[in-house]
Amino acid sequence: MIGIRDIPYDETLPQLSKALDVSLMLEKFQATMFESEQFSHRFRVTDCEVVYVKYKPQKPCTVCYQVVIRDISTNQVHTQLHSARIFESGGSTPRYTNAQHLPLIPPYCGKALIHIPEFEMVIWSFPNDRKLRALPQLTNPVLLEEQLLPELIVQLFGQGWTIIRATTEVMNYVPRYSCTVKVMFQMRSQELAEKKSLIVYGKTYVDQKSGENAYAVMHELWETDARKSGEFRMAQPAWYDLTHNIFWQFAVSGTTLLQYDMKNPHFTTLLEKAGASIAILHTLPVTKAHPIRVEDLIARLQQTNIALSYLKPHVIQRLQAIVTLLMAQTDEIGDQPETTLHGDLHLKNFIVDGTSVTMIDLDEVGRGSPFHDVGSCIAFILYQGLEIGLPEPWIEELVGGFLQGYRRKITWNVPEPVLRWHVVAALIDERVTRCLKKAKPGTVQQVERLLELAFRLASGDQKIPIENSLSCVKKHPSPNTTLRSRA
């Protein structure tokens, strides 16, 4: 949850602090989500957690809650997602009235749609979502077997296959924007006397254009020589279901790079391979990639400045200083190469299977400076190192290993000031922003640590270890020292 001192006061949404108080919301869910007093006695809401917040000052706020419900009669426990929109005074009633006329799917228990007028709040119980209309089919095994998988199977394997069993798991849900579901199913062909077990991922988007473009871009990458030769490894696009706005991909076996122990000596080797994979992607041609521009990044940084001024007034001066430094340095970084970009790089988007590293989540591919991707990855390494308390020399070695893999595969230079600029921008635009959206315990401390690190980098007190990134790897230091600025 968010600590009381972290909750913003917004004149447009004065009830926001109550909506982010999980103790209070637990009581509200218990009081409002069940159809009758009988069900209210049978089902008990035992826990409530805020898992996502999208907040802009003086705008409706989106909050996603995860609630735990216990069935007293059977003692079974169920976890359920609820997506809430918090409106200005008088804004929730017309939205709730309009939403009642839409087709709604009953959740595991409770109402599909909840109205809390005193909080000006309308709550959609998953899989209901005002914008993502394919969620009920994508998350229900029965509807999957009847409506979605048969067409997918025909596209991939032809006619004559029968689905035996399907199970689903929600992997990532961003209310009103997108949802990714893992689908595991078995099928058989009597004619071929054959059975298959498959794992695929289906992602539905708020708009058709996003899904179509994601499939087109990934198909282009899949057909490149680098992918066919095995030099570049990526998830395989399967099919784009235009009718239901679902992009299907085949699963990649292995575990994410984030799940590996950063203290394991093998982790540096894996980071080198991740760096090489990024470098190869940067050389691949893609015709439908959207532009990723420095001007847009600066605009987002200024928006972060505004949002943080509400949420964190006691650190806003530090953030303003960082953004001012970045804007002053924009002209100094000069022209940069233009390459194909992943667009959302972090350690979760690399899958490790033995010694192989595969890149995933390539549905936001863009075109712009290669240091945008490299800066994002380094920012994530720095962030993770801070979170687990790695010593500075150790983190520098990891960054150096990552850059070593990257620099061996490229033909352009990596100027330290330019890369440092992009690392700082990613720390603010990605790491700080996502900390605020997650709204979990320790948000204040996380943001303060990130801003302190970003300021040291932006002011030049701390450097990115580029010069020694092609040298031999050094031994791991003692874990007693912590990340510090350079004297």
Task: Kindly list the distances between the CA atom of residue 243 and the CA atoms of 148, 201, 219, 220, in Å, as whole numbers in the listed order.
Answer: 10, 17, 19, 22
Asked whether residue 50 falls in the same domain as residue 23, the answer is: yes
Buried b (16+ CB within 10 A) or exposed e, 188-213: ebeeeeeeeebebbbbbbbeeebbbb
Whether residue 465 lies inside any domain: the answer is: no
Q: What is the mean pLDDT of residues 149-175?
A: 94
Higher pLDDT, 416 or 487: 416
266 and 218 inside one domain: no
Q: What is the average per-residue pLDDT within 210-226? A: 95
Indicate the residue among 94, 125, 156 that finishes a domain: 125
CA distance 436 to 308: 9
DSSP state of 344: S
Tell me the pLDDT band of 191, cut-offs 50, 70 and 90: confident
Question: What pLDDT is recorded for position 315?
Answer: 73
Q: What is the pLDDT of residue 467?
A: 67
CATH number at residue 434: 3.90.1200.10
Q: Residue 91: is its pLDDT beyond 90?
A: yes
Calpha distance 342→348 (Å, rounded): 13
Is 80 exceeded by the pLDDT of residue 462? yes
Q: Are 428 and 445 contained in the same domain?
A: yes
The identity of residue 376, as a single letter, is S
Model confidence at 476, pLDDT cuts 50, 70, 90, reads very low
- 423 in any annotated domain: yes
Whole-number pLDDT of residue 417:
93
Residue 445's pLDDT is what? Answer: 75
Measured N-to-C along each axis, helices 316-333 and 416-426 cross at an angle, to the nearest 10 degrees, of: 140
Please report the pLDDT score of residue 312 as a whole number: 59
Assess whether 286 and 260 both reside in one domain.
yes
Q: Work out how many domains the chain is built from and give that number.
A: 3
CATH number of the domain encompassing residue 175? 3.30.200
pLDDT at 477 over 50: no
Helical packing angle, 443-458 and 316-333, nearest 10°: 40
Query: How far is the first Cα of the chain from the last one, in angstroms, to the nearest whole number?
Result: 37
Average pLDDT over residues 240-244: 94
* Same domain assignment for residues 287 and 407: yes
484 within some domain: no
Please indicate, yes or no, whether residues 418 and 272 belong to a single structural domain of this protein: yes
Question: Could you tell me the pLDDT band of residue 201, with boundaries at 50, 70 and 90?
Answer: very high
End residue of a domain, out of 125, 152, 169: 125
Say yes or no: 113 and 203 in one domain: no
pLDDT band at 443 (very low <50, low <70, confident <90, very high): low
Residue 199 lies inside a defined structural domain of this protein: yes
Q: Which residue has the higher pLDDT, 108 or 305?
A: 108
Considering only CA atoms, which of 357, 181, 172, 355 is closest in space to residue 257?
Answer: 357
Which amino acid belongs to residue 9? Y
Label the pairing between strands 113-116 and 255-256: unpaired
Query: Does residue 227 lie in a domain region?
Result: yes
Structure tokens at 30: 């218990």
Q: Are residues 344 and 198 in the same domain?
A: no
Structural domain for 27, as ranges: 4-125
- Residue 120's pLDDT is 98
232 and 165, same domain (yes or no):
yes
Residue 360, domain member (yes or no): yes
Helix (H, G, I), strand (E, B) or coil at 406: helix
Q: Are strands 366-368 and 290-292 parallel, antiparallel or unpaired?
A: parallel
pLDDT of residue 385: 92
- Residue 138 tokens read as 């994508």
Answer whether residue 468 is part of any domain: no
Q: Which residue has the higher pLDDT, 338 or 314?
A: 338
For the stretch 415-435, pLDDT in tens is 999 999 999 999 999 988 777
In the prediction, which pLDDT does 317 show? 82
Here the CATH number for the domain that contains residue 55 is 3.10.450
DSSP 126-172: TT--SS-TTHHHHH-HHHIIIIIHHHHHHHHH-S-EEEEEEEEEEEE
Query: What pLDDT does residue 437 have?
Result: 63
pLDDT for residue 17? 87
Kindly state the percentage of the chain with pLDDT values over 90.
69
Nearest to 346 by CA among 371, 391, 383, 309: 383
pLDDT digits (tens, 9 = 90+) for 269-282: 999 999 999 999 99
- My answer on whether 240 and 260 are in the same domain is no
Model confidence, pTM: 0.87
Q: Are residues 224 and 328 in the same domain?
A: no
pLDDT of residue 306: 62
**Is residue 5 very low, low, confident or very high in pLDDT (cuts 50, 70, 90)?**
very low
The number of beta carbons lying within 10 Å of the beta carbon of residue 363 is: 23
* Geometric angle at alpha carbon 135, from 35 and 104, rounded to 5°: 30
Mean pLDDT value of segment 125-145? 93
Residue 4 has pLDDT above 60, yes or no: no
Chain mean pLDDT for the chain:
89
Q: Do 264 and 386 sit in the same domain of this protein?
A: yes
Of 436 and 298, the one with more pLDDT: 298
The answer to whether position 290 is within a domain reads yes
Domain end marker among 125, 146, 176: 125
Mean pLDDT value across residues 395-402? 94
pLDDT tens for 327-337 read 899 887 878 89
Residue 176 pLDDT grade (very low, low, confident, very high; cuts 50, 70, 90): very high
Q: Which residue has the tokens 């997650």?
A: 438
pLDDT tens by residue, 16-42:
989 989 999 999 999 999 999 899 999
- Please confirm whether the linkage preceding 477 is cis (ω < 30° from 0): no
Which pLDDT score is estimated for 10? 80
